[in-house]
Structure 1
Amino acid sequence: MIDGLLRELAPQVLGSLVRRHGDFDTCEDAVQEALLEAATQWPVRGLPDNPRGWLVTVASRRLIDQVRSEAARRRREESAALREEPLRREDSEPGEPGGPVRDDTLDLLFLCCHPSLPEASQVALTLRAVGGLSTAEIARAFLVPEATMAQRISRAKARLKGVRFGEPGSVPVVLHVLYLIFNEGYTAFRGDLAEEAIRLARAVHRLLPGDGEAGGLLALMLLSQARRAARTGPDGALIPLERQDRSRWDRALIAEGVELVSRALSGSPLGPYQVQAAIAAVHDEARGWAETDWPQVLALYGLLEDTPVVRLNRAVAVAMVHGPEAGLALLEPLEAELAGFHRLAAVRAHLLERAGRVREAHQAYGEAARSTPSEPERRYLLDRADRLHPTSHETP
């Protein structure tokens, strides 16, 4: 329980310190010291009356200690008096005379997703500062050496020096970064990373309850994550959506996601996350692949921006409504735009198999297997290729 509470409070405390004192890097070090002290003291002494205020007070004093280079003795003496020290008005709990707590999480997200930072740095810094992941954990998630990730995060912090905390930020950029984090976790079968993205998306939705796209993104994540248990078999191989055991889907997450997207669609201008969540809801509410409302899915894809990836996904819906040859016809113009993209070969293989063009499907499955970065997906694609050895019964 304490670990979960500390993880929830960490970005709020860091945001509070950065707002007051600036210097992201030094403030983060101070917060880490406060979190370590809380993890040591709270299980023994019990939770303080105001955990957030306690952390802000400890971290503030650690920050002062760092700046003044004071001795560890003074830090220990001051920490002993923490419970007796009055809290600032902005750090008091709701319902106390000091007034409501100010939550700086959104401002901290804006800072981590500042437009001066490259996209990869935005993702890494968000996971580090807001998500609470260690540098080693982030490096493992993105398959880079820890030293490389440490340098990336360090450079990002350096570029933020002089950036005013609390300046207007871009909600779409924040949502895009969270979407990238979730996609990385979902496609790489990193459940911890996907869960962290969901936790952060919940926080943003609480802070922006009227933002339809914030609700749409959270709904999309929940509706996708609901299928997690059915996505791989006992041997770890991928199970595609059409072959999944839907009794293993998480119905509570589906119900929450459907409610969220229904509310987002009814009260806000339509955005891409809401549309993608609506498509996911159609899939999750269907009793089976064949029972999916494919005309509705096809219509929803027509509401999305016309990008190569959207056209690729739309080709599957077209094939389900108008037949596999119609879907294959839509893939031909994508060959140049998505050259080397494994999903293009995988979709082509699937539609060729449905069309009875076995030899071509066999080759396309092999091509997709060679280009995918996902080991579970590679195993699935190779299995499909092995099952489709060319035969004399191939449809001309």
Structure 2
Amino acid sequence: MGAMNELIDRAAVDRLVRVLADVAPGVAWTRVAGAGASLDDLSLRERTDHVSRGLLADLAAAGEADYSTAARTFRSALRDAAFTGWTIWPVTESAVTLALGSAGSDDFEDCLLLLAELTPRLTGEFAIRRLLAADLDRALAVVLTWTAHPDEHVRRLASEGTRPYLPWAVRIPGLIQRPEATLPILDALYRDPVDYVRRSVANHLNDLARHSPEAVLATAAAWAAAPDANTSWVLRHGLRTLVKKAHPGALALQGFAPASLAVTPPRLDRDTVTLPADLGFEFEISNTGAGPARLAVDYVVHYMKANGSQSEKVFKLAALTLDPGETRTMTKRHAFRQMTTRVHHPGSHALELQINGVRYAPTEFVVEV
């Protein structure tokens, strides 16, 4: 995350100060400048909050800490092409803070519109979360209109900003408790002409699958009945977690029916993996049935945990079709590296194949750290 933290650095904050000073010369902006000079050892999120506090303090010191005045300043800054990049994040957070504290009856909706205006410069998907948390239905009524917006960044914000499990973002309980709330947004966007938007829709659908698989499958079936040239990809990506979990409905919707197969156990290129290393393996799949077999081929790694138990993770390997009597040799290398997202522990592990949701005999190996 070190490189990510530097997305908001002193130079970026200094550019922000210069832009704001041009459009609001009556504000000193000294606290923002000071925040830019004191970012060391802060994460990207912490830097965002630090700069946002400076923005709010400078606006307050100048007597301009009401939402409408700040919004005019930020909109004026949009005339400058330098008003862009990751320092837009603290700007959006500041606008939301002021809107939520405002007594103005229209400031909530106007803040949503401001985020839509800012999001082409840098996504407003993080700041919008607090507006969703404050009044989900009020916010979604505006967000739904963005699905017809001419700017692809705004259309993507409609889907990405309302994802139940958006990375880096705070959780919104209402989005998890009410999966139907955002389905109209996805219905309006799954055939969007821009891949950037469709990818967000697929990721949003995959998020919903974590807690509402039946609603996701009903939605996916409706899309499959009214597809365009890109719908098959959207569904494949949106149903990927359910397919990995061997959900029968998701497998069937993707055309992965029960099949007659002969599958050899995975042959490993070593019995012991000493980190860091790659584990190579291969196996054969034979179609012993009378018709073609469309196959979702995954593999499962059973990792040793610190407490001596194992946890599994399913990885996608391939989707393929085998003719009757056809045999295919499959090969793969799996990396074992210590990462912040996965800490490896020494001991017994196993590798198992999963084809169309059916598990086959695992092969064990040892990891040395």
Identify, as 1 or 2, the structure richer in strand: 2
Q: TM-score, normalised by structure 2?
A: 0.36
Structure that is richer in helix per residue: 1
TM-score, normalising length: structure 1:
0.35
